[in-house]
Structure 1
Amino acid sequence: MIKDSKTAILIFAHSAAYEAKIKTFQNSKAVFESLQKRTLQLVQNTQLPFFLFTEQNQVGDSFAERFVNAIQSVYDLGYQSVITIGNDTPQLTSKQLLKAHEELLANHSVIGKSKDGGFYLLGIKKEDFQPELLLQLPWQKQTLSNSLCNLLELQSSSVTHLKTLADLDTYNDIFDFVNSFKKVYAALNQLLNQLVFEANQIITHVEEKRTSVFLTYKFNKGSPLVY
Structure 2
Amino acid sequence: MSSTARVAILLFTRSAGEEGARKQFLSHGSRADNAAVAARLIDHATATAHRAGVDFVCVDSARQAGATFGERLAGAVRATFARGYEYLLIIGNDCPQLTAATLRRAVAAVQATGAVLGPATDGGVYLLGLSRPLFESTPWLALPWQTRHLGAALRRELRRLGAAVHQLPALADIDDEAGLARALRQALARPLRRGLHRLRTAGRCVARPVWQRAGQRGRLAGRPHRGPPTS
After TM superposition, is the score higher than 0.5? yes
CA distance in 1, matches of 2:161, 2:106: 17
Q: Deviations over 1:72-98 (max 9, x none)?
A: 001111111110000110000001111
Of 84-93 and 35-44, deviating more is 35-44
Q: 1:79 maps to what in 2?
A: 85
Alpha-carbon distance in 1 for matches of 2:19, 2:98: 19
Structure 1 unaligned blocks of 5 or more: 183-227
Give matches, 1:74-223, under 5 Å: 74-130=80-136, 133-180=139-186
The residue matched to 1:149 in structure 2 has which SS?
A: helix
Q: Is the 8 A contact 1:68 1:131 kept in 2?
A: no
What one-letter code is carried by the residue in structure 2 that aligns with 1:97? Answer: L
Q: Which amino acid in 2 is paired with 1:13?
A: T
2:27 is equivalent to residue 18 of structure 1: no
Q: RMSD value over aligned CA atoms?
A: 1.8
| Greater C-alpha radius of gyration | 1
Deviation at 1:39, TM superposition (A): 1.1
Structure 2: how far apart are the matches of 1:181 and 1:79?
A: 33
TM-score (normalised: structure 1): 0.75
- 2:64 corresponds in structure 1 to 58
The match for 1:38 is: 44
Shift of 1:3: 5.0
Counterpart residue identity of residue 61, structure 1: A
Whether contact under 8 Å (1:108, 1:156) holds in the other structure is no
Runs of 4 or more, structure 1, over 3 Å off, are: 179-182
Separation of aligned partners in 1, 2:133 and 2:80: 14
Q: How many residue pairs end up in the alignment? A: 181
**Identity across matched positions, percent:** 30
Looking at structure 1, the residues matched to 149 and 102 of structure 2 have their Cα atoms a distance apart, in angstroms, of 23
- SS of 2:43's partner is helix
For 1:143 and 1:7, the matched residues in 2 are separated by: 27
Residue pair 1:109, 1:156 contacting (<8 A) in 2 also: no
Larger RCO (CA under 8 A, 6+ residues apart): 2
Question: SS state of the match for residue 129, structure 1?
Answer: helix
More divergent stretch after superposition (29-38 vs 48-57): 29-38
Query: C-alpha distance in 2, partners of 1:164/1:63?
Result: 23
Q: Taking structure 1 as reference, are residues 78 and 66 closer, same or farther at Cα in structure 2, changes over 3 Å only?
A: same
Secondary structure (helix, strand or coil) at the match of 1:117 reads: coil
Tell me by how many angstroms 1:107 deviates. 3.0
* Structure 2 residues not aligned, in runs of 5+: 189-231
Using the size of structure 2 for normalisation, the TM-score is: 0.74
